[in-house]
Amino acid sequence: MLEHPFLLVAIGGFFGAITRFGISNWFKKRYPSPFPIATLLINLTGAFLLGYVIGLDKNWQLLLGTGFMGAFTTFSTFKLETIQLHTDKKWRILAMYLGISYTFGILLAFLGMKLGGVL
């Protein structure tokens, strides 16, 4: 294992953050919508990939799991968007966003773990 594992986390975090920023901006410009599609797709992709990554060795887990996925996925933005939808009384969008995020997030994490050989 690397003598300074924090470097793996930092490198992964750098690339995860700029990847999320780029994808989020791309979606918001091309598909403006009250439905937070960018955050949903980022978090669902991250759930699957994190499930897959936990089957890898410790260095890859630090780089891709803790670093990249930690910065790529965004629980805080998910919560903020949820509160904004509630405040704006967009009940149907709110229910869909929560239902899809939790249901498919768990299923995709499970699928990632299955394909990654963890389960």
Cβ pair 82, 94 in contact under 8 A: yes
Q: What is the pTM of this model?
A: 0.90
| Tens digit of pLDDT at every position of the chain (119 positions) | 567 899 999 999 999 999 999 999 999 999 999 999 999 999 999 999 999 999 899 999 999 999 999 999 999 999 999 999 999 999 999 999 999 999 999 999 999 999 998 88
Provide the residue type at 102 as one letter: Y
Cβ pair 47, 108 in contact under 8 A: yes
Ramachandran angles phi, psi of 13, nearest 5°: -60, -40
